[in-house]
Structure 1
Amino acid sequence: MRDRRIDIVDETFIRASPGVVRASLDDRGWVAQVWPHLAPTVTRDRGLKGVRWAVTGQVVGEMEVWLEPFRDGVVVHHYVRGHRGPRAPRDVATRHTLRWKRAVHALKDRLEGAGPSSGASAL
């Protein structure tokens, strides 16, 4: 059962206010695009500090995005703790991480004005 454990930690700095970044977490469409393999249910709304979800699907457990103000922006911390769902591919953690990195970097590009980027096409 040990190989079924999922433990993901990621940090990305975005030069934008926590409120602007938080708006993406409130966008159900964006959340569904980023995590189509999960069914997230909010368990703790932390306001400008982020969101914690219970998740089912390819990962069963909990997921969090914590927003930490830092200098002229925010560090976006992403955590996933749980285990691989019964029908999940063996590499679900790698797939989840790559999908998240593409999405958070597309968000970073859009919010920092580094060029045209739509979260949907970047996924």
Structure 2
Amino acid sequence: MHPVPAVDVIDETFLAVARERVAAEFADRARWAAYWPDLRPEIAHDRGPAGIRWTVTGALTGTMEVWCEEVLDGTVLHFFLRAEPGPGSRAARSRRLGRAESVRRHREFKAHAFALKRRLEAGRPAGVPPLAGG
């Protein structure tokens, strides 16, 4: 059995958008610095419309994944981050700080997920199917 990493983030967000569009956002390397400015993701497994798995280095060392699951008329965006604080980081000094780092990373990703939702759904009213191709 593997020990639980110091930073362990799991998140799900529903977007009324085709999974191909959601996955394309994360396939765009130019966006990574905005999502994770202190991490250096390297693709470990590109699963196309199903998402991407990365190894990460920088402020954290570990693995990260977005999984785009088709659900009803949209996509559940799953996010996983399992990592240890990098050498010299504040969170490396204690488990308590590692938990605080998990909470911070979770909030940051959720903010990105909701911004992505607003942008890709383009003001679609609740209960209305996504636009064709959307």
Normalising by structure 1, what TM-score?
0.84
User: Are residue 95 (structure 1) and residue 104 (structure 2) matched?
Assistant: yes
How many Å separate the matches in 2 of 1:4 and 1:86?
15
Structure number having the greater strand percentage: 1
How many Å separate the matches in 2 of 1:65 and 1:55?
13
Instruction: Give unpaired runs (5+ residues) of structure 2.
Output: 92-99, 125-134
Q: Which has the larger radius of gyration?
A: 2
In structure 2, the residue matched to 1:121 is: none
In structure 2, the residue matched to 1:58 is: 59
Offset from partner CA, 1:55-107 (integer Å, 9 cap, x none): 01111100000010000000000001121112333333222212211111100
AA of the residue aligned to 1:11: E
Mapping 1:26-45, distance limit 5 Å: 26-45=27-46
Aligned residues of 2:27 and 2:52 also touching (Cα < 8 A)? no
Aligned residues of 2:65 and 2:79 also touching (Cα < 8 A)? yes
Give percent identity, aligned residues only. 39
Aligned residues of 2:50 and 2:67 also touching (Cα < 8 A)? yes
Instruction: Give unpaired runs (5+ residues) of structure 1.
Output: 116-123
Normalising by structure 2, what TM-score?
0.78
Mapping 1:56-95, distance limit 5 Å: 56-90=57-91, 91-95=100-104
Paired residue secondary structure (2:33): helix
Number of residue pairs matched by the alignment: 114
Aligned residues of 2:43 and 2:54 also touching (Cα < 8 A)? yes
**CA RMSD, Structure 1 to Structure 2 (Å):** 1.9
Aligned residues of 1:4 and 1:84 also touching (Cα < 8 A)? no
Distance 1:3 1:74, change over 3 A: closer
How many Å separate the matches in 1 of 2:71 and 2:60?
30
